[in-house]
Amino acid sequence: MVTEPPLSKLDLNLLVALDALLAERSVTRAAQRLRLSQPALSASLSRLRIHFGDPILARRGNEYDLTPLAVRLAEQTSTALEMARRIFDSQTEWDPRNSTREFAVFGSDYGFATIGRAVSRLATERAPSVKFRFLLHSPQFIESADERLRSVDALMIPHGFVSDLPHMTLAKDRWVVIAATSNDAIGDELTMSDIIHSPWVFTYQSRTAFTSASRQLQELGVEPHVDAVVESFLSLGTFVAGTRRLGMVQARLSDLVVGMGGVRVLEPPFEATPLTNALWWHPVHTHDPGHTWMRELFAEAAAS
């Protein structure tokens, strides 16, 4: 029977060194990043090589490449390091007025431009030293959300993409269609014929990334001609303005999109299924008082 080495025999400082080495792929740059001497970091690399039985960094000419093991370790290391930081930052009581905590929230530009900006305003008023880092999600993030949310605070995304995780419903929204103001082929009322025969700009159009509205069109038997795909709701109007294209955005975002110029808003000619926005997190964060405060902030921002 093989027993695992006790944690007491492991130096957690090696995790910091490993993270820097994997990120920089250079002993010199990693030492500069950690403000250590090069010999000190070289000694850490030697210990890591002995522990893993792997060179970690393999020389290629004047550069270093990550070994296959190091590539696998890269994401795990940053996640483990972030978890360690959160553990040692934990407090019995948490006062937002005196905290310098940074919350990392993933989502789309739609979520950030609506609820996210309201959260940021509230946080600035109540916790001037607290920082929010709003990061764009990806299909890869959504597919492994249960694991990735261990090391970040939350994911803001509508229902239908993530399940089996703690969540809080934020606000409902509906879909509207945008068309160019110069598009005289489209009248004041959109028809199903317009939907079928117009070119489209879609967002997140892939097997695992899509909008509920585009999926609904397919369920209605409509296969729109899509000639552009962008992973941004805010930029959708720039791809529609001055063209014959149509696009779909959330009603809460439509004023911002129209404000960029060249597009107008129309109601869809079918009963578009509304979307219900939610905030998702990993169970390890549920009882964290700082995280609870953050969730209350999102709830208040959504209600406003």
- Identify whether the C-beta of residue 249 lies closer than 8 Å to the C-beta of residue 267: no
Percentage of the chain lying above the pLDDT 90 cut: 47
Q: Which residue has the tokens 């999102």?
A: 298
Q: Residue 61: its pLDDT value, please?
A: 77
* Helices 289-303 and 117-126, packing angle to 10 deg: 120
Q: How confident is the model at residue 224 (pLDDT cuts 50, 70, 90)?
A: confident
Q: Residue 182: its pLDDT value, please?
A: 96
Q: How confident is the model at residue 115 (pLDDT cuts 50, 70, 90)?
A: very high
Write the burial class of residue 284 (CB in 10 Å: 0-12 exposed, 13-18 middle, 19+ buried): middle
- Identify whether the C-beta of residue 240 lies closer than 8 Å to the C-beta of residue 229: no
Q: Residue 208: its pLDDT value, please?
A: 53
